[in-house]
Amino acid sequence: MPESDCPMCRGAAADDELERTRVWEDAYWRLTVSLATIVPGFAYLEPKRHIAFITELDGEEARTFGTVLAASTRRLKEATDADIVYIYIFGDGVPHLHLHLAPHRAGDALNDQMIRGEITEEKMPNGMTRIVSLDFPPIPRERLLEIAARVREGLR
Ligand SMILES: [Zn+2]
């Protein structure tokens, strides 16, 4: 999608089309709340500049990201009386970075699963719960260690 066709690059001009309303912005970021959702306070945080994916985040947007994300989620949590705010970044829909900020309360419409298939929970010795999909076999530990090593090497 060329930037000229990107709805998120149109900012406020696209809010009606995207069924959302602006609640905050600064020089780099824009926060809007959805007007068509089953989740009260479901919001979108996106850079004003066309940054396609989280992997391309740089410049002032990268420098301010943490502060803006904390303030946005804190306000959404307070305003909706949520227990917590989930954050989703997909990137395979509209290629303009946007974070889905979803205030969550027990029993609401949100799903806390990251994986597909028949889900089961395993209790770990430390008391935490591991989510497992019965449709996808576990990846051997050696393979996961190889991937971790590759990531570690690239970050030096
Ligand atoms: Zn864009």
Q: Which domains does the chain have, with CATH numbers?
A: 3-104 (3.30.428.10), 119-154 (no CATH)
- Ligand 1 center to 2 CA (angstroms): 8
Task: Tell me: pLDDT of 43 over 90.
Answer: yes
Q: How remote is the CA of residue 79 from the centroid of ligand 1, in Å? A: 28
CA–CA gap between residue 43 and residue 32 (Å, rounded) = 5
pLDDT band at 131 (very low <50, low <70, confident <90, very high): confident
Q: What's the gap in Å between 46 CA and the centre of ligand 1?
A: 9
What is the mean pLDDT of the segment spanning 9-36?
Answer: 97
Q: At 39, is the secondary structure helix, strand, or coil?
A: coil
Looking at residue 108, its amino acid is D
In the reported structure, the alpha carbon of residue 49 is separated from the centroid of ligand 1 by a whole-number distance in angstroms of 7
- The Å distance, Cα 140 to ligand 1 centre, comes to 39
Percentage, residues of the chain above pLDDT 90: 81
CA pair distance 59, 10, nearest whole angstrom: 21
Distance from the CA of 41 to the center of ligand 1, in angstroms? 23
Q: How far is the CA of 98 from the centre of ligand 1 (A)?
A: 10
**What is the rounded average pLDDT for all residues in the chain?**
94
CA of 9 to the centre of ligand 1 (A): 4
CA of 153 relative to ligand 1 center, distance in Å = 32
> Residue 2's pLDDT is what?
64
Checking if the pLDDT of 111 tops 70, the result is yes
Asked if 141 and 149 touch (Cβ cutoff 8 Å), the reply is: no
2-to-26, 96, 133, 142 alpha-carbon distances in Å: 24, 10, 37, 41
**Least confident range of 17-21, 57-61, 111-115, 116-120:** 111-115
Confidence of residue 1 (pLDDT cuts 50, 70, 90): low
Judge contact between 12 and 31, C-beta under 8 A: no
Q: What is the mean pLDDT of residues 76-104?
A: 96
Amino acid 36: pLDDT: 96
**Residue whose token pair is 């089953």:** 38
What is the pLDDT averaged over residues 123-134?
A: 89
Q: CA 153 to CA 156: how far, in whole Å?
A: 6
CA 65 – ligand 1 centroid, Å: 17
